[in-house]
Structure 1
Amino acid sequence: MFTRIARRAFSTSKVNPYKVTILGAGGGIGQPLSLLLKLNHKVTDLRLYDLKGAPGVAADLSHIPTNSKVSGFTPDNEGLSKALKDADVVLIPAGVPRKPGMTRDDLFSINASIVRDLAKAAGDAAPNANILVISNPVNSTVPIVAETLKKKGVYNPHKLFGVTTLDSIRAARFISEVEGTDPTTEHVNVVGGHSGITIVPLISQTKYKTMDKTTREALIHRIQFGGDEVVKAKDGAGSATLSMAQAGATFANAVLSGLGGERDVIASSYVDSPLYKSEGVEFFASPVTLGPDGISKVHPVGDISSEEEQLLEKAKETLKKNITKGFAFIDKE
């Protein structure tokens, strides 16, 4: 009976055959992310790449009876190009994790080079792919990917995403703890960026807009700096990996749903955005509608409180610095 139930749970109707590549699949985020995407019926061809370990992860996952094949690649024998060849979606969790006392910006010097090199490879082998950047600091790494792809003449602003879903996941969980509700029924629109004060949860747009000031400020701070809780709890052994994997898989599923022609697929992401470009903020996180060609619409922030207006202004000032830092990294090459 158990086998029959398990197989029924994994069985699916016919879906479009999507090729998904994870760059950094052997890491703390990469392994659980690979598992979650192996369980996604929209993924029929899953390619895993890392400097080492990816073939082992692929072999392990290949035993799970879902309708997808899994392949593992290392740098040997042009493995990176093979992993990326004609991919529909590329996820980049590669890089080093945060350690106690580190901010996402502290990771820049190491992760910037990693992301740049992977973006170059993606531009060559999968120029039409939707690229989902998880590697921190996202506020800077997404501009790095954009500039790298521009140099190769293959940049499509509708297909580049910074994954900020973890902020939305945390916001839903944390507000449910405050209000004593089911977190699966909560939604908080989180805009701005993906680091500290650039994360702006719009509590005024929820049904809890009358929340008292002290509780609201504590909640906003926890959403903005929730990653610090995990870094501290892991006592130097890493940062948020399991929750980030869930966030990455959730957003990847939204992108795949859009590719498949599902209607009204809306998710928040850090993208090349027109919202504040006139103010020098080239990239900004807000809800976007996803479709067969990537982003079909960037949604505005909407009505917000005066307090949130102040948070947004501070976020934009920091974002400008983060974005400039990413551009400068590529310009100096």
Structure 2
Amino acid sequence: MKAVVAGASGGIGQPLSLLLKACPLVDKLALYDVVNTPGVTADLSHISSIAQIEGYLPADDGMKKALTGADIVVIPAGIPRKPGMTRDDLFKINAGIVQGLVQGCAEHCPDAYILVISNPVNSTVPIAAEVLKKAGKFNAKKLFGVTTLDVVRSETFVQSITGERDPSKTVIPVIGGHSGETIVPLFSQAKPAVKIPEDKLDALVNRVQFGGDEVVKAKDGAGSATLSMAYAGYRFAEKVMKAAKGESGIIEPTFMYLPGVPGGDEIAKATGCEYFSVPVELGKEGALKATNIVKDANDYEKKLLEKCYEGLKGNISKGIDFVANPPQK
């Protein structure tokens, strides 16, 4: 199993690379970034684990060397928002970075599972899909938007109510997108069942939707959620790799192009969104089946979903439009 981290020197990329280096499922690990990759690689190469590690910069066909033969590519590449930058400025830069990396995947590892972490996921996954479609290499079952951090936050934040010693033992489906009000945790479908007092529900949902702001504030302008995101990205990557190696019954929410996934059409029709995060069963070929849990949402959650659909449609269009009409340089 060859894993690649594209954007390996960044705030998410470094801890994610560390977790993958330590993972017994990974035989080869290739790191790629535009700066600092040799240093990160040298540091991680001293860890006594199975994965053989290589690091590449853009020079000397670095991207090609990193991606060739990859089974799974995780993309946390991008820049954080700097003072004075608008969200639109940030979008154009990160969208362009993802576009270039996915183009590389289309050319050098078209059969790899591609996991997109780079924000805004609601737009970068449609960008990735459009790039792959143009190259004639699009396989909807193998392109995933990583929304696992929203799931991890839901599990963690509900612990104060459940008192469960291990928060990851509570399975909470989180659906929709991966920003603000597009994130919809379905606490009514938690397993085991969770009883949330009515007076605490609004605050809990808001905390899951805007948990990232807590971290930005606590880091006082020096960054965003990088360590928790690396953990979440690793958790999802590990599940994809386990499924690729034949383990069955693995289900995890992820943001996908629904019409290309079995069971997805029904959800796309119900939500009016072609891209949406729902629990997906993973297998050797990637996504085996999308589960329609939208229909089981309670009245409170249905109101959250209405707002989600509205925001998500605009985000998706923005991504598709970016590839169709590239911004002038």
Q: How far did 1:181 drift?
A: 2.5
Tell whether the 8 Å contact from 2:31 to 2:56 is kept in structure 1 after alignment.
Answer: yes
TM-superposition CA deviations, 1:239-274 (whole Å, max 9, x none): 000000000000000000110010111111001112
Distance 1:38-1:238 versus aligned 2 partners, 3 A rule: same
Distance 1:100-1:152 versus aligned 2 partners, 3 A rule: same
1:47-126 to 2 correspondences below 5 Å: 47-98=30-81, 107-126=90-109
Per the alignment, residue 187 of structure 1 pairs with 171
How many angstroms apart in 2 are the aligned matches of 1:210 and 1:251? 27
How many angstroms apart in 2 are the aligned matches of 1:261 and 1:287? 19
Segment of structure 1 superposing worse, 39-48 or 50-59: 50-59
1:138-149 to 2 correspondences below 5 Å: 138-149=121-132
Q: Secondary structure at the match of 2:319?
A: helix
Distance 1:105-1:304 versus aligned 2 partners, 3 A rule: farther
TM-superposition CA deviations, 1:129-159 (whole Å, max 9, x none): 1000000000000000000000000000000
Letter of the 2:268 partner, please give it: K
How many angstroms apart in 2 are the aligned matches of 1:54 and 1:108? 24
Per the alignment, residue 157 of structure 1 pairs with 140
Per the alignment, residue 185 of structure 2 pairs with 201
Alignment partner of 1:289 is 2:297: no
How many angstroms apart in 2 are the aligned matches of 1:102 and 1:315? 26
TM-superposition CA deviations, 1:165-214 (whole Å, max 9, x none): 00000000000023333213222110001000010001111255542222
Letter of the 1:233 partner, please give it: A
Per the alignment, residue 299 of structure 1 pairs with 291
Alignment partner of 1:326 is 2:323: no
Unmatched segments (≥5 aa) in structure 1: 1-17
Q: How far did 1:98 drift?
A: 4.3
Q: What's the C-alpha RMSD, in Å, of the aligned pairs?
A: 1.7
Unmatched segments (≥5 aa) in structure 2: 259-263
Q: Which residue of 214, 219, 224 maps to 2:204?
A: 219
Letter of the 2:102 partner, please give it: A
How many angstroms apart in 2 are the aligned matches of 1:64 and 1:209? 41
TM-superposition CA deviations, 1:88-127 (whole Å, max 9, x none): 0000000012468999777312211110011111110011
Tell whether the 8 Å contact from 2:162 to 2:194 is kept in structure 1 after alignment.
Answer: no
How many angstroms apart in 2 are the aligned matches of 1:184 and 1:292? 24
Alignment partner of 1:312 is 2:305: yes
Tell whether the 8 Å contact from 1:99 to 1:238 is kept in structure 2 after alignment.
Answer: no
| Identity in percent | 52
Alignment partner of 1:270 is 2:255: yes
Per the alignment, residue 44 of structure 1 pairs with 27
Q: Which residue of 246, 266, 271 maps to 1:261?
A: 246
Tell whether the 8 Å contact from 1:81 to 1:121 is kept in structure 2 after alignment.
Answer: yes
Tell whether the 8 Å contact from 1:193 to 1:284 is kept in structure 2 after alignment.
Answer: yes
Distance 1:106-1:250 versus aligned 2 partners, 3 A rule: farther
Distance 1:119-1:112 versus aligned 2 partners, 3 A rule: same
How many angstroms apart in 2 are the aligned matches of 1:31 and 1:53? 10
Structure-2-length-normalised TM-score: 0.92
